[in-house]
């Protein structure tokens, strides 16, 4: 899985997809690794109509986001201002981090620094 909970992603396909001028961005609310799907805030919403009930005399609409395929989203790179393919690499102190393959900027650490992978300055 290339995205995690609370990541900001760009949605590439589907009814909610944007374009280069106005990419559709959203926060990942949930990741469903065994289905390779993600739930993105405000994307792929479905509405359920509710009959009036005692608790809710007006009735109304409930909206909720449905999962979309993880391959349809890319992690958002603030430097590129687009969703981008990411790679993984080790920082100088040995922490694993994600980075934008396009511009090379770091997009967050995935692990704590590990001396085993640290680049020695000697
Ligand atoms: Zn970038």
Run means of pLDDT, 10 residues per run, the chain, 122 residues:
94 85 93 97 90 85 92 96 95 96 95 91 58
- Note if the pTM is more than 0.75: yes
pLDDT value at residue 122: 55
pLDDT value at residue 80: 95
pLDDT value at residue 70: 96
Cα 53 to ligand 1 centre (Å):
50
Under 8 Å between Cβ of 24 and 18: yes
- Which residue in 46, 11, 48 sits closest to 28, CA to CA? 11
Cα 64 to ligand 1 centre (Å):
31
Q: Are strands 82-84 and 73-77 parallel, antiparallel or unpaired?
A: antiparallel
Cα 50 to ligand 1 centre (Å):
43
Sketch out the chain's domains with CATH numbers: 1-51+61-84 (2.30.30.30), 85-122 (no CATH)
Cα 86 to ligand 1 centre (Å):
9
């Amino acid at each position: 899985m290339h995205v995690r909970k609370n990541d900001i992603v760009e949605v590439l396909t589907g009814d909610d997809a944007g374009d280069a001028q106005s990419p559709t961005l959203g926060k990942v609310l949930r990741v469903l690794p065994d289905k390779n799907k993600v739930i993105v805030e405000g994307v792929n919403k479905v509405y359920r109509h509710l009959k009036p009930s005692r608790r809710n005399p007006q009735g109304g609409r409930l909206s909720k986001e449905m999962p979309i395929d993880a391959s349809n989203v890319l992690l958002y790179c603030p430097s590129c201002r687009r969703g981008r393919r990411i790679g993984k690499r080790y920082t100088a102190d040995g922490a694993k981090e994600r980075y934008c393959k396009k511009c090379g900027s770091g997009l967050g650490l995935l692990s704590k620094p590990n001396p085993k992978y640290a680049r020695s300055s000697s």
